[in-house]
Amino acid sequence: MSTQPAQNELHARHHKTQLRIFLVTIGSFTYAYASSIIGTTLAQPSFIEYFDMDKRSNAADISGAINGVFQAGGFFGALACILIADKFGRRMALFIASMLATLGGALQAGSVHIAMYLAMRVVSGLGVGALITMVPLYLAEVAAPEVRGRVVGTTGIMIGVGYSSASWMGFAFYFVDASNTQWRIPIALQCIPALALAIGVWWLPESPRWLLLNDRADEAHKLFYQAQPAHNTNEVADNSEFELLQRQIMQEKT
């Protein structure tokens, strides 16, 4: 009878871990959706009409810039998030990236001028560039060694789902007659997963590795144990793995 509460606790921990993995990989979905949705947006008749893309002599240059500034933003977002993650923690980096992606997506959808749209493409790129860097980093640092490959691999699945969702959403809204709704709504939808991650990130545990780097070993040990799979009840092996991580961190700091 005494083992039943322990088993229940292990199963609860397992389900909580699965939910956390799903929550984090929403960042990968956001990256893919935001990257892909522009492909159909540029071809939407209402987008072309609203920004006079059919009348501009430099329409091809603008289309190229819309893609280019997004990628440039992603490059700098990926670089910046590494510094933020080391200084303020992995959760804070995920939060900032998610908020940038939310802000960029919302203001793209509400753009009233092509210059505003271009500027918000930069902001969106900063956010999703940071997300695509931080999501696998965070998952790799919190996942137990025996499941780390599968956990990090879920980012690829969510990227595929994001690309597919954006393509089908753009296709579906092509048949919507309600003027600018045709292109604004598909762009705005990227804000939903980004905002969900920004809110949910504070339910996530901090990375044990980052805690060790900042001399918070007790917290790191507790979270390291909680991250172990439900079927793993070998406390000796867990402690040995944690001590190995501690030694690795000490070597990096010296």
Domain boundaries, the chain: 13-202, 205-254
**Between 3.20.20.140, 1.20.1250.20, 3.30.870.10, 2.40.50.140, what CATH number should domain 13-202 receive?**
1.20.1250.20
Segments of 68-201 assigned E as strands: none
Closest CA to 143 of 237, 239, 85, 209: 209
pLDDT the model gives residue 236: 45
Residue 170, Cα to own-chain centre: how many angstroms?
21
| Cβ neighbours of residue 111 closer than 8 Å, sequence gap 6 or more | 117, 120
SS3 content of the chain, % helix, strand, coil (to 5): 80, 0, 20
Question: What pLDDT sits at residue 85?
Answer: 95
What's the predicted TM-score (pTM) here?
0.87
Q: Give the pLDDT confidence score for residue 210 in this predicted structure.
A: 87
pLDDT of residue 4: 54
Positions in the chain short of pLDDT 70: 1-14, 226-240, 253-254
For 200, residues 6+ apart whose C-beta sits below 8 A from its C-beta are: 23, 26
pLDDT of residue 58: 93
Residue linked to tokens 């939407």: 44
pLDDT for the residue 232: 53
